[in-house]
Chain A
Amino acid sequence: MFFNSLLTNFAALEVGQHLYWQIGNIRLHGQVFLTSWILLGALLVFISLGTKKMENDPKGLQNLLEFLWDYIRDLARTQIGEKVYRDWMPFIGTLFLFVFVSNWGGALIPWRLIKLPSGELGAPTADINTTIALALLVSLSYFYAGLSNKGWRYFEYYVHPTPIMLPFKILEDFTKPLSLSFRLFGNILADELVVGVLVFLVPLILPIPVMFLGLFTSAIQALIFATLAAYYIGEAVEEHH
Chain B
Amino acid sequence: MLAFNFFGATEGGLFDINATLPLMAIQVVALTYILNSLFFKPVGNVVEKREKFVSNNIIEAKNKLSEVEKLEADLLTQLQSARTEAQRIVSEAEDESDKLYKEALELANNEANASKEKARLEIESQTSAARDQLSKQADDLSELIVNRLILEK
Residues of A in contact with B (beta carbons under 8 Å apart): 1, 3-4, 7, 15-18, 20, 26-29, 32-33, 36, 40, 44, 47-48, 51, 54-56, 58, 62, 65-66, 69-70, 72-73, 89-91, 93-95, 97-98, 119, 124, 127-130, 132-134, 136-137, 189
Contact = CB atoms under 8 A, between A and B. Distances in A.
Nearest to A90: B36
B19 interface: yes
A47 B7 contact: no
Nearest to B9: A16
A90 B18 contact: no
Contacts, number: 131
A16 B35 contact: no
Given A47-B38, A66-B43, A69-B44, A3 B8 contact: yes
B101 interface: no
A145 to B, nearest CB: 14
A194 to B, nearest CB: 15
A196 to B, nearest CB: 14
A68 B8 CA distance: 43
A134 B28 CA distance: 8
A127 B50 CA distance: 41
A130 B24 contact: yes
B135 to A, nearest CB: 125
